[in-house]
Amino acid sequence: MQNRANKKYVSFTLATTLIAVFSFVLVSACSDRQAKAKPNLVFKSAPQPGVVAKIGNEVITEDALIGDDKLDFFDLKKREYELKMDRLNKLMVDRLVGAEAKAANMSQDDYINKKIVGGEIKISDKDLKKFIAEKHIPESQINPQIKERIVNYLQTMKKQEMIQQHVAKLTKNNPVEVYFSKPKMQVAVEAGNAPFVGSEKAAVTIVEFSDFQCPFCSRAAETVHEVQKKYGNKVKIAFRHFPLPMHKDAKPAAEASLCLNEQGTSKFWKFHDILFKNQDKLDAANLEKYAKEAGGDVKKYNECMQAKKYAQAVQADMEYGEKIGVKSTPTFFVNGQIISGAVPIESFSELIDDELAAKK
């Protein structure tokens, strides 16, 4: 009983203290009498490119300001670019299609629906099933409401595609001039001793940081296969490990994959595919089973795992990834240019094609 009484007193005292603190904060927020001191800043034009500030006699460059947060700043610049492109695309539709609609004495929406789209957009069962498969939506979740939402989404995407195709025709012989550029960030990334496919001397090297338990990495693995099929020996694709803390089976799986790689790179990639198809079953017993399915010598595999032979190699990959700014999986570097997340092959092709053209 004494403890409970003490607890009540403490709770009351804490509540009283918090009320007093909040009252002080509110008073401070509404009053200028106790304004916080601020550093004395003078905003000027930079004396030379790349300089952002001067502290005392020391000139601070943009690189020094950004420091280890390069990827965060790059993401901001990339987001700004994407927003500008979205706005530019909307303006092109408004100006170009709008002019056509005005000439036809129609509203822009009517003109788009009747002249560009041409009526209701039909979504076939094949398109629906393809979308469900690509997005890995469980069949158990597909009810009439979800199906309707997917159909509406596909209709919207198809409509946007048709409008973009029309704008592409309108601008074919009269290009739109753009005075801002897509941001680029070049990171010096090493493939190290990572397992890879493609040619060692390929013009384009893709270094992937991945996690065998990450669902987005599983989707990205399918895209990597598409890239490999499309470009062959024009690209080198290296796989480095970045198991995330919340995925308890990811690190042992990473070590297991390197034990298979020791027996042959082809076995590593077979094992890689099996793991990504069985992300919910990566316990030790299943890893051993998958090692056998991939054509590995189980005895050698078990000796390798028991000795934790590649634990340090996986740790080194993680530390290296953190050093160059990797914060999530999957993260790819295409000749040093970053791609984050499970993006479609078009995102890879854009960078790869540019790099291949630059090498000619």
Beta strand spans in 74-202 (E)? 196-198
- Any residues with CB less than 8 A from the CB of 326 and at least 6 apart, and which? 71, 209, 242
The span from the CA of 271 to the CA of 285, in Å, is 14
Specify which residues 331 forms β-bridges with: 209, 340
The span from the CA of 325 to the CA of 185, in Å, is 12
Cβ proximity of 301 and 260 under 8 Å: yes
The packing angle between helices 215-231 and 345-359, to 10°, is: 40
By residue count, the chain amounts to 360
Structure confidence by residue, pLDDT tens digits, 230-276: 999 999 999 999 999 999 999 999 999 999 999 999 999 999 999 99
- Any residues with CB less than 8 A from the CB of 181 and at least 6 apart, and which? none
The residue type at 79: R
The span from the CA of 53 to the CA of 65, in Å, is 9
pLDDT of res. 34: 60
The span from the CA of 74 to the CA of 333, in Å, is 13
Specify which residues 297 forms β-bridges with: none
pLDDT-based confidence at residue 35 (cuts at 50, 70, 90): low
Cα three-residue angle 154-160-164, rounded to 5 degrees? 145
Beta strand spans in the chain (E)? 51-55, 58-61, 196-198, 204-210, 235-241, 331-334, 337-340
The span from the CA of 289 to the CA of 260, in Å, is 12
Cα three-residue angle 110-116-117, rounded to 5 degrees? 85
Q: Is the pLDDT of residue 22 over 50?
A: no
The span from the CA of 83 to the CA of 77, in Å, is 10
Cα separation values, 16 from 5, 19, 26, 27, Å: 17, 5, 15, 17
Structure confidence by residue, pLDDT tens digits, 41-74: 999 999 999 999 999 999 999 889 988 788 888 8
Cα separation values, 46 from 41, 49, 52, Å: 14, 7, 6
pLDDT of res. 3: 42
Query: Model-level pTM?
Result: 0.73
Q: Which two tokens stand for residue 320?
A: 């290296």
In the chain, list all ranges with CATH 3.40.30.10. Answer: 196-359
The span from the CA of 209 to the CA of 213, in Å, is 13
Specify which residues 206 forms β-bridges with: 237, 334
Closest CA to 68 of 359, 343, 324: 324
Structure confidence by residue, pLDDT tens digits, 112-162: 999 999 989 999 999 998 888 878 788 888 899 999 999 999 999 999 999
Classified by CATH at the fold level, domain 196-359 comes out as Glutaredoxin (3.40.30)
Task: Report the pLDDT averaged over residues 207-224.
Answer: 96
The span from the CA of 182 to the CA of 172, in Å, is 21
Distance between terminal CA atoms of the chain? 84
pLDDT-based confidence at residue 219 (cuts at 50, 70, 90): very high
